[in-house]
């Protein structure tokens, strides 16, 4: 069991830290690329710094994780190239092209393109589309919802 699953507060700190880093990522990348770093260079530096940081952490915390079986090598190589490098490179290219650096979704929303970034958001969108197709969409005030909730608590 990981430290985060044993200690929920630590897990919350990890989640908040990850959200903070993700939130500032686009802005920082935009500034770095405005200084003359290209998208491929930024992708390489991000990947290299991650490998170094993860390598140092593993060296001191779980040295046995460096052992990789021959069977796993191809899968890890494909995951590294397709799953990490391509996503990071395309992300950097998008930041370089889009006029916004703070929120990539802003450009899509401004053009009327739906931007769904979570599984929960996708589920809500599917439920909304199903409700519209079935004609179950209506308007209900917050007061009506509050009344329904208070009656159901009784």
- What is the rounded average pLDDT of the residues 53-69? 86
CA distance 44 to 23: 20
Q: What percent of the chain has pLDDT above 70?
A: 87
Burial status of residue 43 (CB atoms within 10 A of its CB: 0-12, 13-18, 19 or more): buried
d(CA 23, CA 15): 12
- Asked whether residue 52 carries a pLDDT value surpassing 70, the answer given is yes
Per-residue pLDDT at 109:
64
d(C-alpha 154, C-alpha 149), whole Å: 9
The SS3 of residue 112 is coil
The pair of three-digit structure tokens given for residue 87, joined into one six-digit string: 């996503």
Task: Say whether pLDDT at 16 is over 70.
Answer: yes
- Asked if the model's pLDDT at residue 38 lies above 70, the reply is yes
């Amino acid at each position: 069991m990981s430290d985060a699953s044993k200690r929920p507060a630590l897990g919350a700190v990890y989640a908040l830290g990850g959200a903070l880093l993700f939130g500032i990522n686009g802005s920082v990348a935009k500034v770095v690329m405005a200084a003359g770093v290209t998208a491929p260079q930024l992708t390489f530096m991000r990947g290299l710094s991650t490998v170094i940081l993860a390598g140092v952490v593993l060296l001191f915390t779980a040295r046995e994780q460096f052992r990789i079986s021959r069977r796993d090598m191809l899968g890890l190589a494909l995951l590294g190239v397709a799953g990490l490098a391509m996503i990071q490179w395309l992300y950097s290219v998008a930041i370089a092209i889009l006029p916004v650096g703070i929120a990539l979704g802003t450009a899509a929303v401004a053009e009327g393109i739906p931007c769904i970034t979570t599984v929960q958001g996708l589920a809500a969108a599917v439920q909304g589309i199903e409700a519209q197709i079935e004609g179950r969409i209506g308007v209900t005030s917050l007061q009506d919802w509050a009344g329904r909730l208070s009656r159901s608590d009784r």
